[in-house]
Amino acid sequence: MYKNKRIVAVIPARGGSKSVPHKNIHPLGGRPLIAWSIGVALATEEIDRIIVSTDDEKIAAVAREYRAEVYARPTHLAADESLVIDALRDLARTFAAEGETAPIMVLLEPTCPLRAVDDVRSCIHLLVDKGYDSAATFKEADLNPHRAWKIVNDKPEVFIPGAVPWLPRQKLPSAYQLNGAVYAFHVRNLDQEGVSILTGALGAVVMPRERSVDIDNAIDFDIVESIMEKGGK
């Protein structure tokens, strides 16, 4: 709890990964992947409950082993095309029925194992201390949009009208992208229509590129293993 506000962390972990079978419990640094997100949540003193939302019993068993609660996700909310926000809305309805009154939810994707406690806390503090409606972690953009192109009828055009992609990096405006590590928001936001978790006044926490790896395939596991070894994690 932080300043009398209960906070629930949710780790969404469906079992249908195609790139790496059972990716969310694939070994990483001596632990199942999902254990890194659970561990950060446990170490964040502001968080009161840790929920793993999954449709897979193997993932559920690992989550319980690492001290998280498990809520079964309905099958229709765990398909490849399912949106996380729909699973969160379903979970919020379950909370309401059970009498859970936490006004703040923190979403921790299991594929971002290098986030730190301070990243989570910073997002929470933006909501509670500075009055933002939602907050998220970002990293420097992999491709500055001023260097992006589109191709129309075989003809390349700069993606942003008037952009000069030949400028050196130092002369381009700074650009950032979501890194998927932390999302924090008021549960009431889920009552709004739309597909975005981030609504209203939005706060940002910038994470370094080396801790912003979002694991998608086997090569990403190797990259994170290397980062962990070099960083002594």
User: Mapping DSSP to helix (H, G, I), strand (E, B) and coil, where does residue 8 land?
Assistant: strand
Q: For residue 92, which of 82, 77, 103 has the smallest C-alpha distance?
A: 103
Strand partners for 185: 105, 134
Segment 171-180 mean pLDDT = 96
Residue type, 215: I
**98 or 233: which carries more pLDDT confidence?**
98
Q: Determine the pLDDT at residue 80.
A: 84
Is pTM, for the whole model, over 0.85?
Answer: yes
Q: Give residue 193's pLDDT.
A: 86
Q: Quote the pLDDT of residue 233.
A: 58
Q: Which two tokens stand for residue 188?
A: 């009431």
For residue 101, the tally of other CB atoms under 10 A from its CB is 10
DSSP H helical segments within 66-152, as ranges? 84-98, 117-128
Q: Tokens at residue 41, please?
A: 């949540």
pLDDT at residue 207 above 90? yes
| Overall average pLDDT of the 208-233 stretch | 92
The pLDDT value recorded for residue 121 is 98
Instruction: Give the start-to-end residue ranges of the domains of the chain.
Output: 7-139+177-228
In the DSSP assignment, the letter for residue 74 is: P
pLDDT tens for 103-159 read 999 999 999 999 999 999 999 999 999 999 999 999 999 999 999 999 999 999 999
Tokens standing for 124?
Answer: 């929470």
Tell me what percent of the residues of the chain surpass a pLDDT of 70.
Answer: 99
Say which CATH superfamily domain 7-139+177-228 falls into. Answer: Spore Coat Polysaccharide Biosynthesis Protein SpsA; Chain A (3.90.550.10)
Whether residue 107 contacts residue 12, with contact meaning beta carbons closer than 8 Å, is answered with yes
Find the range with the poorest average confidence among 39-43, 102-106, 229-233.
229-233
Q: Can you give the length of the chain in residues?
A: 233
Output the six-digit token pair for 201. Answer: 């006044």
DSSP letter at 45? T
